[in-house]
Amino acid sequence: MYKDSKIYLAGHTGLLGTALMKRLMSDGYSNMIRRSHSELELTDKNSVFDFFSTEKPKYVFLAAGKVGGIVSNKSYPAEYLHVNLAIQDNVFEAAQEYEVSHLIFYGSSCSYPKVCRQPMKEEYLLTGLTEETSEGYAIAKIAGVIGCRVYNQQYNVNRFIALIPNSMYGPKDNFNIKNSHVLSALIRRFHEAKINNAESVSLWGSGKPRREFIFSEDVAAASVFAMENADHLENSPYNIGTGVDYSVEKLAGITARIVGFEGEILWDMSKPDGAQRKLLDSSKFMSLGWKPTIGIEEGLRRTYEWYQEQSVAQAAM
């Protein structure tokens, strides 16, 4: 991938897309193509093919898709399945048709079985049933991961690369309580509780499940590393994680401290926990020379600083 190579960054305004943009620019890549959702509907095949025919990108980071937390996944499973499958299918077909050099697709750790040996190795995919609360999204992501392998196999190329990052967080995350992931939800809940001088905050579940989180800029760095070393990759997915997990209870405590909330944290046991543990074995990718650099406390501090800046900006409008 040369510094002036034409790069299409799908989903450039989102959590990962923003981090990818920052990383590519800092690394000197200057020829990036971006389209907003209103400018290019990726679920529409004709629009996607017209775009690839006109722009002819050589490298694609497919960071676009429908994402959300437990509540949203439980409420709209068909949407999560359809939207993500449609985007993947259209972009994969166009990338093959117009001979993209390499495309990176992002899977999800929720694609691993609900009951799975820990830490989860790439070969554990499809060895058991997925977690029911994210079934539609997980199946779509599994299809994308398998899609990368079979496209390469059928067409005898190494065009498609599947990366499976664990739960991401960072600036530009979704902080909507109804459909956000756990860390962004914790930040907002504790921030609002601090502002309102609340005595306590009630959180879903028992707090016992363990989760691994990775800062969005670490995933962006891993992505650029993968693209630059694409010719050395196997035709199989690669986990992207930190190798460290925490109980949700501990994460809540760390987040409350960073935000400055000093009240009581309560746990609503009537609400679901989700999978009990989701820790990836990322040793295969790390053995190539990449390592994460941003720990959970630094990442949370940077995320909360961004959230505060956005809150101030919105209040001033």
What does residue 169 show for φ and ψ, rounded to 5 degrees?
-150, 165
Residue 313 pLDDT: 66
What does residue 245 show for φ and ψ, rounded to 5 degrees?
-125, 165
- Pair of tokens at residue 196: 């309102």
Question: Among this protein's residues, is 151 annotated catalytic?
Answer: no
Q: In sequence order, what are the beta bridge partners of 278?
A: 211
- Establish if 129 belongs to a structural domain: yes
Residue 182 pLDDT: 84
- For residues 121, 127, 131, 132, the Cα torsion angle rounded to the nearest 10 degrees is 160
Strands (E), 117-237: 160-165, 167-169, 200-204, 210-211, 213-215
pLDDT < 50: residue spans in the chain:
none
Question: Is the whole-model pTM more than 0.85?
Answer: yes
Residue numbers of the domain that contains 23: 7-172+212-244+278-295
- Establish if 111 belongs to a structural domain: yes
Q: What is the pLDDT of residues 146-195, one digit of tens each?
A: 999 999 999 999 999 999 999 999 999 988 877 777 899 899 999 999 99
Q: What is the pLDDT of residues 110-139, one digit of tens each?
A: 999 988 999 999 999 999 999 888 899 999
For the chain, the domain total comes to 1
Residue 22 pLDDT: 97
**3-class secondary structure, 45:** helix
- Establish if 135 belongs to a structural domain: yes
Please identify which of the residues 112, 124, 137, 307 carries the catalytic annotation: 137
DSSP 280: B
Q: Which of 178, 128, 184, 205 lies closest to 304, judged by CA?
A: 184
Residue 24 pLDDT: 98
CATH code: domain of residue 78: 3.40.50.720
Residue type, 35: R
Q: 100 and 61 in contact (C-beta within 8 Å)?
A: no
Strand pairing of 200-204 and 210-211?
A: unpaired
Residue 214 pLDDT: 97
